[in-house]
Chains A and B, each alone.
Chain A
Amino acid sequence: MTSTSLTGSSGPPASGSPQIALVDLLDRLLGAGVVLSGDIVIALAGVDLVEVRLRALIRTVRDDDDDEVTA
């Protein structure tokens, strides 16, 4: 089954790459949108020292707002 692309976009050229884009495939096969995580482990000289959970940090800030902050 060949895949064609009809696009009026400046996205990545799809002619010559008839396969399904990995992000589209993973969105469907994994059943969840592919997102990038904001968690980081910081190591120094090969020793894990700190794990930063950026989502948790940001939730705290937003909970203090009276109004909804739209992302």
Chain B
Amino acid sequence: MSDDPVARFRGLPERIDSDPETVQRDLMRLVLTIIELVRQLMERQALRRLDEGSLTEDQIEALGTGLMHLADAMRELRERYGLSQEDLNLDLGPLGSLLGE
């Protein structure tokens, strides 16, 4: 195997070959990746609504609090399973990379 980043990178595995001992941890990475995707989409949508000026002060507070708690919860879950933010990134091919720009 070469040193080249392409050859070294495995990212999301093409197969998750689990056994009863490791299945929980293996699936958590997949599950957290999807939750992170949804969380980011929710956050973008909230910011879009903020821009539009269509939210009341109460709604802004409620949305912000909810998203903040969600971000904290995600961080905790990641730490518990030893996953970095990068580990949860997904490349969607023509749709581009999900996290970051």
A contacts B directly (C-beta below 8 A): yes
A residues with CB within 8 A of B: 12, 21-23, 26, 34-46, 52, 54-55, 57-59, 61, 65, 67, 69, 71
CA distance A37 to B9 in the complex (A): 12
B residues with CB within 8 A of A: 2, 4-7, 9, 11-20, 23, 26-27, 30, 34, 37-38, 41, 44-45, 48, 90-98
Query: Known: A38-B12, A58-B95. Is A45-B30 also a contact (CB below 8 A)?
Result: no
Number of A-B pairs, beta carbon distance below 8 Å: 82
B37 and A40 form a contact (CB under 8 A): no
Partner of A58 from the list B2, B4, B19, B92 (CB cut-off 8 Å) is B92
- In the bound complex, residues from chain A placing their C-beta under 8 Å from that of B91 are 35-38
- In the bound complex, residues from chain B placing their C-beta under 8 Å from that of A37 are 14, 91, 93
Min Cβ gap A64→B in Å is 10
Min Cβ gap B26→A in Å is 8
Min Cβ gap B16→A in Å is 5
